[in-house]
Amino acid sequence: MEQSLAGRSALITGSTSGIGLGIARLLAAAGAKVMLNGFGKPEDIEAARQEVAALSGGVVPAYSAADLSDPAQVRAMCAEAEAALGSVDILVNNAGIQFTSPVDQFPEAKWDAIIAINLSSNFHAAKAVLPGMKARNWGRIINVASAHGLVGSPEKVAYVAAKHGVVGMTKVMALEVAQSGITCNAICPGFVRTPLAEAQVGPLAQKHGVSEEVALRDYLLAKQPSKRWVEVDEVAHMALYLCGPGSGAVNGAALSIDGGWVAA
């Protein structure tokens, strides 16, 4: 039976490409009205909007260019989504950035930016949409965390700190809404096949003097026992499940989708 989200509205951050766009496509195909958010070339953003529209019967999604490092812009985006869509029934906090460096060399500006976008924006967006969800006694908040929300890796201090914070925040929100029709869960992907991730393979192959196949298996996916990418659609289907009627008892969970990474 196909999942139906007819009558629901979703705001997905960081959704002009990658995981966010994959989730937007699937939610739209299930009948939800959506708002996209993210950066990119205007023609690429328009192409993403038209792609989503084609899956939703021609309904072109709303779009916000909000900079999620700015709390005021996050709040304005949520208000804009409520005006454009009629409500925000589903919030998917997906936007994120990355930077790697040892702790003692980690630029403070990079730390501040990663915490602001990967962690604080989730809080500001959830705070903005929760009153409406409570008034309607229904809502789904999905925080896209990471395997790094459950385990650590060297040279990723800000990213790991932020994603651990996302998982902790998810638990608190879930406890607070546990007796309502609202749920809050975190999805924790491993390495997902996106253009940005795939672009890392070539440089790794050159660095280690191996083929791209070996670089992918033995270096990039070294911690992922499946030795294959997690596909965008696999993450999107998990998000779709969490939005559907059969997921109401799933609350406060950090759901791994990482090819066995955190099982090791």
Which positions are annotated as active-site residues?
159
- For residues 28 and 240, the answer to whether their CB atoms sit within 8 Å is no
Distance CA 3, CA 78 (A): 25
HSE-CB at 191 with a 13 A cutoff on CA atoms is: 21
SS3 assignment, position 178: coil
Query: What's the first-to-final CA gap in the chain, in angstroms?
Result: 34
> Which token pair is 110?
């990079």
